[in-house]
Amino acid sequence: MPRALAIIRTGLALVSLSAAACAPTHDVTVLKLGHGLDVEHPVHLAMELMAEAVGEHSGGSLRIDVYPGEQLGSERELLELVQLGILAMTKSSSAPMESFVPTMKVFGLPYLFRDSNHLWSVLQGQVGREILESGTRYGLKGLGYYDAGARSFYTRDTPIRGPADLQGLKIRVQKSVMAMQMVETLGGAPTPIDWGELYSALDQGVVDGAENNRPSYVVARHHEIARYYSLDEHSRQPDVLVINPDAWASLSADHQAALTRAIDDSVAFQRDLWRQAATDNLADAERAGVEIIRPDQDLFRQAVQPLWRAYDDTDIGELARRIQEVD
């Protein structure tokens, strides 16, 4: 019996040594990232590139697993999972983040940015960095922004040629106070609906229309139902990549550097991809029979001034003024 135990102990020791010799030098750290977009969406493609790049920059010791299409929950649910530390990372539009990070509300002010160049001057400057970092205290550390273009109205039956055409229409909005206030200011009836449920809501007439950027409108096939797309371009709300602060702190300095570098790679890639996609998707919609309307944006800009005045003496109003001062 003692001899048998010795043989077993020796065998186990040999197996252990063999396993150690075959094991990688460093364990692989895995970060799970969930989001709600389709796999053909430019932002998803950028996050896939980020996952590839982080593996290269970390020598394979850091991995990001991406779960698209609301597999892990709606946008709001994913933000809550990150706050709780159940999920490491997510990508969210800045609109639903308003309920979690108060400063994100500023992005919802209609006509805040003059154009795309102004938007990126802000996002990549001091103000943009401050807004990203402001989420850390709420369990959502901002890592970077993705381009989400300009949001415009699209409708099933009533073309939007001016603000008056929105009167009484049920317009799907994100779960955002600012988005609801904007539609109300224009005379519409804001109707918050999760992104994954919007196609059926449009199809069944639960809402008369919605508002979003060109790629989302086409990739989600909303143009099959809502055949009027009005390029009022009322807001430019970026997508925000966030991580649980404890998950970030648990990464080594090398892994933090590898992730930061991979995000930079993906942001540059996504901006180029977005520009082309926005052009191509609008052409796709037009070929599919959608009526593309180019209204006088000044009419909408004037119509939302009461909303701006409501925030004049608030922190959001002050932040908006700082943004508008950026060249």
d(CA 168, CA 160): 12
- DSSP reduced 3-state for 200: helix
The residue with tokens 């926005």 is 278
Please give the domain boundaries of the chain with CATH numbers for all domains.
Answer: 94-327 (3.40.190.170)
The pLDDT of residue 268 is: 96
d(CA 199, CA 205): 10
Instruction: Show the tokens assigned to 78.
Output: 């994913």
Nearest to 92 by CA among 36, 17, 164, 27: 36
The pLDDT of residue 26 is: 55
d(CA 115, CA 303): 19
Question: What b/e sequence results for 54-66 when a residue is b if at least 16 CB atoms lie within 10 Å of its CB, and e otherwise?
Answer: bbebbeebbebeb
Q: List average pLDDT for each run of 10 residues in the chain, which is 327 residues long.
A: 35 32 60 94 95 97 96 95 97 94 97 96 97 97 97 97 98 94 97 94 98 94 98 97 98 98 97 94 97 98 97 97 96
Residues whose CB is less than 8 angstroms from the CB of residue 132 and which lie 6 or more positions away in sequence, other chains included: 141, 142, 143, 144, 145, 240
